[in-house]
Chain A
Amino acid sequence: MALSFIDGNEAIARAAVRAGCRFFSGYPITPATTIYQQMLKLLPPLKGVCLQGEDEIASIGFCLGASMAGLKAMTATSGPGISLYSEQISFALSGEIPLVIVDVQRLGPSTGSATKGADGDIQFLRWGSSGGLPVVVLAPVDVRDCYILTMHAFNLAEQYRCPVFIASNKEIGMTRESIEIDSLDTPDLLTRKYCPEDQPYLPFQVPPGTMIPPFLPIGGSRLVRQTSSTHDPEGYITADTDIIGQVIERLDKKLVTNVDTFTFFEFDSDPDAETLLLVYGVTARAAKTAVEQMRKGGKAISLLILKTLYPVPEDFIKQCINEVKRVVVVEMNLGQYVREIERLAESQHVSHFGKMDGELISPELIQQVIAL
């Protein structure tokens, strides 16, 4: 056996390149900067492109252009940069431009604490674009997840033609740990579906029975139109409310109705448990320790670690919480994802613990919360 020693940010960069990413642009921001630095080492020798934008708006804009030229693209930032990405994110969403966006979360609000962790952007990632249509948000727990989920993120971006977020955290991105890369269960690589040469091409025409328009690159032998405005199948701006309504509904459904096929999680269920501890992100590490200790003390408890946060895997979560009487949600913010659980719970009592002071939530604290 051989082990490697890397942090979450390096794992994301390495996995991105392995997933076929050949375009990266970013703007320096702690704690995401080392993803950019890694990509700068990795991409140029592979004939890939790594750029430093003049600001975050440019960085993500470069990615949108490159993705429409056919390259797998990624950008990385932290909360203040996500704010600046916002308008471009809604463009990626409406223009169905595949893109992986890494948010190595730091303690907000505002410039906050650059070197302290938090999961304070979770609802912001979901709702931080105009129009409020769904996005995919994957939440890694550790370096291993950073590697595997990044590869899934590229697959999802390509498959569904959409922006996919990786909601990391300073406490994952800048924590180094031992990892056996060769033993990772990595997915097969997917690429966006191209329009076959013998078929007519309209940029936003969806073949019957599917929900994703086939792709052709700008610069190819058939003309491609991309637009941030409400558009018809040809890619021209339209005021036809029937067409607009259909497109919006499709953008919603293509992700929401398929989330069962990309729900990533760890569910450690105890049939005798009345309480389910539900966590995501780095807090899951403390939760695992807490659950282990509680079980040693004779307490029955179940643990659900969610790694696909959005679209909310509603059916799956309902199944898990239906096994218990009480759900305890613990997260590094003052109560964001718990809102999703509250609306899904029927008879279950949902309680919440969260804090935002730049420190990890400890296993002892989780045990105290559950004992309440």
Chain B
Amino acid sequence: MTTLLNIQRPPVFCPGCSHERVVRTLDDALQRLGLNGEQIVIVTDIGCAGLFDTFFNTHAFHGLHGRALTYATGLKMADPELTVITIMGDGGLGIGGAHVLSSCRRNLDINLLILNNFNYGMTGGQCSVTTPVEAWTSSGFLNQLEPPLDICRIGKAAGAPWVGRLMATDRELSSRIQEAVVYRGFSMIDIWGMCPGRFGKRNKISLKQIEQEMSLLPEAEGRVSANERLEFGGHYRSLAAQLQCADPVGRIDCKFSPPVSSRCDILLLGAAGQRINTAGEILCLSAMSAGMHVTQKSDYPITVLRGHSVSEVVLSRSPVGYTGIIKPNIVIALSAEGVARRKKVFSLLDEDSLVIMADNLEIPKNNARTIEIDFKALGVPSSEWALVSLSMLAADGFPITEEMLQAGLASRFADR
């Protein structure tokens, strides 16, 4: 066995700091597992525990406070063979709580060691999420207000399949770390220790007393059988392997000559369920079959099954510049909600404009040429009104022809 410790950079912790003990124990565990430094990445957080990666001859990734698990996740998903060990203190546990919970739930094969010494040592001994209420910290009385959290209980509740809690001095620590690292899934160990520089200075407490406190908590001894399940990375890859490659971007051949000499702006005003967006798309595809340039924008509320649905379509023989529609050439008005959404445009319409509308609909006064359609008499359901309106345009031959509409429909519904 050869040590993975970085001889050039021995630990620099305060005398009596439990972190140093854990550095040596982690080295022992990794050696016993027979791992080389190249097979391991140590991902560290901010704080005294954040120094860990520098003491090892392994790959190292030292990042932002609380975010170590996010890098660990990216590394492990990108390189499933890598042994990923994440080190954070009780500070990182607090600020990165969302990532801890998510890692427990995700069950990616990462090992998390929490170096829990009940305070923020590096910044001067402020209280953390694990500080006992009776402790003295440099956060004054604030730690009396919030009880410490039991991360093992939380981890189990969040779905972690391997949860352990040990003293930094525990003789079992090396073998427990080995078990956790070998475990195929998310594993975490809550390692309790002493911060002699800060916590130990203000609180007359020994490691023995800390161990006694620990004994009052429910045990956490490794596998949590109720949470054992497929490991995320392997599961991801097996599900992904069943997926078909996505279709290439659809293409429509340009085979007709466009019946439009310049730009034509079309506004479709309807409601959810009237397939306004689809009609706008078919209009665009139809125009594209004649090599025209098109743009389409949609406007609908977050309640996609209710409310207005507006589609703005621009067709042009030359590239479309401005994609907004100020004065439309054609308005297709099919519901009160859609009309209300764009009521200002009607006053701009003139005798060159065309309005195609449902015959029962009220629209603002305007000077456009108007075609009213009695959809009910035609026996057409509301979901088809927009498509029928397009066929009216095509029958007129402007701005699309019937053969263009056929090509547009064939392209849109190619897979049906």
In contact, A49 and B71 (Cβ under 8 angstroms): no
In contact, B236 and A177 (Cβ under 8 angstroms): no
Partner of B322, one of A49, A60, A220, A289: A289
In contact, B77 and A51 (Cβ under 8 angstroms): yes
- The answer for the CA separation of A73 and B70 in the assembled complex, in Å, is 14
Counting CB contacts under 8 A, is B275 at the interface?
no
In contact, A6 and B249 (Cβ under 8 angstroms): yes
Q: Across the two chains, which residue of chain B brings its CB closest to A51?
A: B77
Q: Across the two chains, which residue of chain B brings its CB closest to A60?
A: B70
Q: Across the two chains, which residue of chain A brings its CB closest to B244?
A: A45
- The answer for the CA separation of A226 and B53 in the assembled complex, in Å, is 10
- The answer for the CA separation of A61 and B236 in the assembled complex, in Å, is 19
What are 19 A-B pairs at a CB distance below 8 A?
Answer: A4-B249, A6-B249, A41-B246, A46-B245, A64-B74, A65-B61, A65-B74, A65-B78, A66-B74, A66-B78, A68-B75, A70-B79, A222-B38, A225-B53, A226-B61, A226-B63, A228-B64, A360-B322, A360-B324
Q: Which residues of B contact A61 (CB under 8 A)?
A: 63-64, 67, 69-71, 73-74, 99
Given contacts A54-B99, A71-B78, A225-B62, 10 further A-B contacts (CB under 8 A): A49-B77, A62-B73, A64-B63, A69-B74, A227-B62, A228-B62, A237-B54, A237-B62, A288-B321, A292-B321
Counting CB contacts under 8 A, is A53 at the interface?
yes
Please give me the 6 A-B residue pairs with the lowest Cβ-Cβ distance, nearest first: A65-B74, A61-B70, A289-B321, A69-B78, A44-B240, A62-B74
- The answer for the CA separation of A46 and B240 in the assembled complex, in Å, is 9
Q: Which residues of B contact A10 (CB under 8 A)?
A: 249
| Given A3-B252, A5-B294, residue A65 in contact with residue B72 (CB < 8 A) | yes
Counting CB contacts under 8 A, is A58 at the interface?
yes
Interface residues on chain A, size class: 35 or more
In contact, B297 and A226 (Cβ under 8 angstroms): no
In contact, B246 and A3 (Cβ under 8 angstroms): no
Counting CB contacts under 8 A, is A354 at the interface?
no
- The answer for the CA separation of A174 and B280 in the assembled complex, in Å, is 14
Q: Which residues of A contact B99 (CB under 8 A)?
A: 54, 57-58, 61
In contact, A177 and B59 (Cβ under 8 angstroms): no
Q: Which residues of A contact B240 (CB under 8 A)?
A: 44-45, 47
In the complex, chain B residues 54-88 whose Cβ is within 8 Å of any chain A Cβ: 54, 57-64, 67, 69-79, 81-82
In the complex, chain B residues 287-330 whose Cβ is within 8 Å of any chain A Cβ: 287-288, 291-299, 320-324, 326
Counting CB contacts under 8 A, is B254 at the interface?
yes
Closest Cβ of chain B: how far from A11's Cβ, in Å? Answer: 9
Partner of B324, one of A64, A71, A362: A362
Q: Which residues of A contact B236 (CB under 8 A)?
A: 44, 49
Counting CB contacts under 8 A, is B218 at the interface?
no
Q: Which residues of A contact B102 (CB under 8 A)?
A: 54, 58
Q: Across the two chains, which residue of chain B brings its CB closest to A61?
A: B70
- The answer for the CA separation of A225 and B237 in the assembled complex, in Å, is 28
Interface string of B223-264 (1 = CB under 8 A from A): 000000000000011011001111001111110000000000
Counting CB contacts under 8 A, is A14 at the interface?
yes
Closest Cβ of chain B: how far from A81's Cβ, in Å? Answer: 14
| Given A55-B98, A363-B322, residue A3 in contact with residue B288 (CB < 8 A) | yes
Most B CB within 10 A of own CB, among A23, A68, A71, A229: A68
In the complex, chain B residues 192-243 whose Cβ is within 8 Å of any chain A Cβ: 236-237, 239-240, 243
Counting CB contacts under 8 A, is B285 at the interface?
yes
Q: Which residues of B contact A177 (CB under 8 A)?
A: 293-296, 320, 323
A residues near B (Cβ < 8 Å) are: 1-6, 10, 14, 23, 25, 41-42, 44-47, 49, 51, 53-55, 57-58, 60-71, 73, 87-88, 91, 115, 171, 174-178, 181, 217-229, 235-237, 282, 285-286, 288-289, 292, 359-360, 362-364
Q: Across the two chains, which residue of chain B brings its CB closest to A360?
A: B324
Taking chain A's interface residues, is the majority helix, strand, or loop, or is none over half, making it mixed?
Answer: mixed
Q: Which residues of B contact A87 (CB under 8 A)?
A: 64
| Given A66-B78, A178-B293, A282-B323, residue A218 in contact with residue B61 (CB < 8 A) | yes
Q: Which residues of A contact B243 (CB under 8 A)?
A: 44-45
| Given A5-B285, A69-B79, A288-B321, residue A223 in contact with residue B326 (CB < 8 A) | no
- The answer for the CA separation of A113 and B281 in the assembled complex, in Å, is 25
In contact, A58 and B73 (Cβ under 8 angstroms): yes
B residues near A (Cβ < 8 Å) are: 9, 37-38, 41, 43, 53-54, 57-64, 67, 69-79, 81-82, 98-99, 101-102, 236-237, 239-240, 243-246, 249-254, 281, 284-285, 287-288, 291-299, 320-324, 326
In contact, B285 and A226 (Cβ under 8 angstroms): no
Q: Which residues of A contact B291 (CB under 8 A)?
A: 1, 3
Q: Which residues of A contact B82 (CB under 8 A)?
A: 69, 218-219
In contact, A1 and B254 (Cβ under 8 angstroms): yes
Closest Cβ of chain B: how far from A31's Cβ, in Å? Answer: 11
Q: Which residues of B contact A176 (CB under 8 A)?
A: 281, 284, 295-297
- The answer for the CA separation of A176 and B9 in the assembled complex, in Å, is 57
In contact, A175 and B296 (Cβ under 8 angstroms): yes
Taking chain B's interface residues, is the majority helix, strand, or loop, or is none over half, making it mixed?
Answer: mixed
| Given A23-B74, A360-B322, residue A5 in contact with residue B63 (CB < 8 A) | no
In contact, B61 and A3 (Cβ under 8 angstroms): no
Closest Cβ of chain A: how far from B74's Cβ, in Å? Answer: 2
Q: Which residues of B contact A115 (CB under 8 A)?
A: 299
- The answer for the CA separation of A46 and B70 in the assembled complex, in Å, is 23
Partner of B67, one of A45, A88, A236, A362: A88
Closest Cβ of chain A: how far from B88's Cβ, in Å? Answer: 13
- The answer for the CA separation of A222 and B59 in the assembled complex, in Å, is 8
Q: Which residues of B contact A363 (CB under 8 A)?
A: 321-322
- The answer for the CA separation of A228 and B63 in the assembled complex, in Å, is 5
| Given A51-B77, A62-B77, residue A285 in contact with residue B67 (CB < 8 A) | no
Q: Across the two chains, which residue of chain B brings its CB closest to A70?
A: B78
- The answer for the CA separation of A63 and B298 in the assembled complex, in Å, is 31
In contact, B77 and A23 (Cβ under 8 angstroms): yes
- The answer for the CA separation of A1 and B290 in the assembled complex, in Å, is 10
- The answer for the CA separation of A115 and B308 in the assembled complex, in Å, is 14
In contact, A175 and B63 (Cβ under 8 angstroms): no
Closest Cβ of chain B: how far from A223's Cβ, in Å? Answer: 6
- The answer for the CA separation of A225 and B38 in the assembled complex, in Å, is 11
Q: Across the two chains, which residue of chain A brings its CB closest to B106?
A: A54
In contact, B252 and A2 (Cβ under 8 angstroms): yes
Partner of A4, one of B70, B246, B250: B250
Q: Which residues of B contact A174 (CB under 8 A)?
A: 297-298
